[in-house]
Structure 1
């Protein structure tokens, strides 16, 4: 069946512009970057959203609706933000959901296949399970593709506080992290999940993380590379994730959908645009009310 890269609708977000998202060539593998929040509240980001319980009945209904919207894109492969080397443990969990041993709307207890997690009762609430597994299950995929990798940190910790040059040579304004967190928390609390993800995947929201990272890195002071090293580490990780996406694609695949923290989207979009075999695709048309 012939598949179109966008749903048949004239409604388009102004944040999904040709300048931001390239036009895909027929021979390229399309990679939809679904930026999401961390639904299980792991507290691992610099600014952490306070997510309500996605196991609640209303949120489960919204997640079912989200899966239906994304299914319309007909991805051949679902990739998730878990370590590439943990393929077996990730897919052992996926198999339990696929067989019905574990249920998406129930609290299940099992170790998280995540390098920085040691709790056993929250992974069932993660976007990996609630979006990635659920969508792959609907599509009858026999496995999901974990594509994350954390490079070894430099001996000179790139995330250490090096101090920031306070001199401002321009009047460029920056978002306040606390204001952004309050706005995001309020939007999530008052919105269905599909609408909140559409809001998160707007260009203005995708820029938030990178504006703060680059501002701090470029104005860093002190010895060694300091915060520029942190940026190099960040791009190293994203390059590895793009590499693992490619390794996960099989002959005949035309579309891969990646469920990933929204902070990764801008970096991965750039890298996928540069990679001649791939083409990044926005999820926005499949998240808006009339899309899909």
Structure 2
């Protein structure tokens, strides 16, 4: 929803605070409310639960408005801007839906393990030898397609498209292509892949810590780059079962 420039491919989007986008977000919240989740989890640090819910309370009470720019420090370890978090999916989807369902709080589940000391994907450390012919997505073409769809598509329909299986492969295809071919440390050291799985496994652990006996559904608002690994991890976790949002989104 906003663009903190933290991803491999950063997409330019129009302002979600505009009236038309706000109407689309209300439509999205109404659709997701049909699933009636017991809890809503968001991609913010697990240890920042008080800061996250302090912000949520301001939206619940009307001190902050979803359609207005609000300036406050983001409860995110890699953010230092004060006027962008109000546009994030945490606020615009997570808080809005929790508010609609009269939830008393939301549940941050993210965690950032210690990152590698140096860039494991440095070009000099990637074996340039292609042993097989593979078809990889072009980041620039994908960015162009995403931006075109954002301009021309309502948010619920855009989320339908971005949650298609073919789109969910984008992040992992590029990560595994580079990570497996990395030769740093002499044996093929996919350090960033290890970090990526470490982070996502911790998030699944925090999801488990979030739920209470009797809960049936928890909705996780998370970047699409996480979805493919989450589907695998949640399928491997016998206490949890991933459910696609596509049944509650418009058909393309």
TM-score (norm 1): 0.83
Three-state SS of the structure 2 residue aligned to 1:78 is: strand
Q: How does 1:46-125 map to 2 (within 5 A)?
A: 46-125=8-87
Say whether the 8 Å CA contact 1:102–1:108 is kept in structure 2: yes
Question: Match of 2:88?
Answer: 126
3-state SS of the aligned residue for 1:278?
coil
Partner of 1:260: 222
Q: Structure 1: which 5+ residue stretches go unaligned?
A: 1-38
Q: Which of 241, 244, 250 in structure 1 is aligned with 2:203? A: 241
Give CA deviations for 1:61-95 in whole Å, capped at 9, x if unaligned.
00000000000011000000000000000000000
Cα deviation digits, residues 25-74 of structure 1 (max 9, x gap): xxxxxxxxxxxxxx111110010111210000000000000000000011
Change (3 A) 1:121 1:227: farther
Deviations 1:133-170 (A, max 9, x none): 00000000000000000001234554544532222121
Decide whether the 8 Å contact of 1:214 with 1:231 is kept in 2: yes
Q: Is the 8 A contact 1:151 1:233 kept in 2?
A: yes
Highest RCO, 1 vs 2 (Cα 8 Å, sep ≥ 6): 1
Selected match of 2:102 from 125, 140, 144: 140
- Could you say which structure has the higher strand fraction? 1
TM-score normalised to structure 2 length: 0.96
Task: Give the 3 Å change call, closer, same or farther, for CA 218–252 of structure 1 in structure 2.
Answer: same
Q: Could you say what the CA RMSD is over the residues aligned between the two structures, in angstroms?
A: 1.5
**More helix by proportion, 1 or 2?**
2
Higher alpha-carbon deviation: 45-54 or 86-95: 45-54
**2:149 aligned residue:** 187
Structure 2 unaligned regions, length at least 5: none
Could you tell me which residue of structure 1 aligns to residue 174 of structure 2? 212
Q: Equivalent residue for 1:286?
A: 248
| Deviation by residue 1:152-211 (Cα, 9 ceiling, x = unmatched) | 123455454453222212112111100010011101110000010110000000001000
Change beyond 3 A, Cα 1:120–1:225: farther
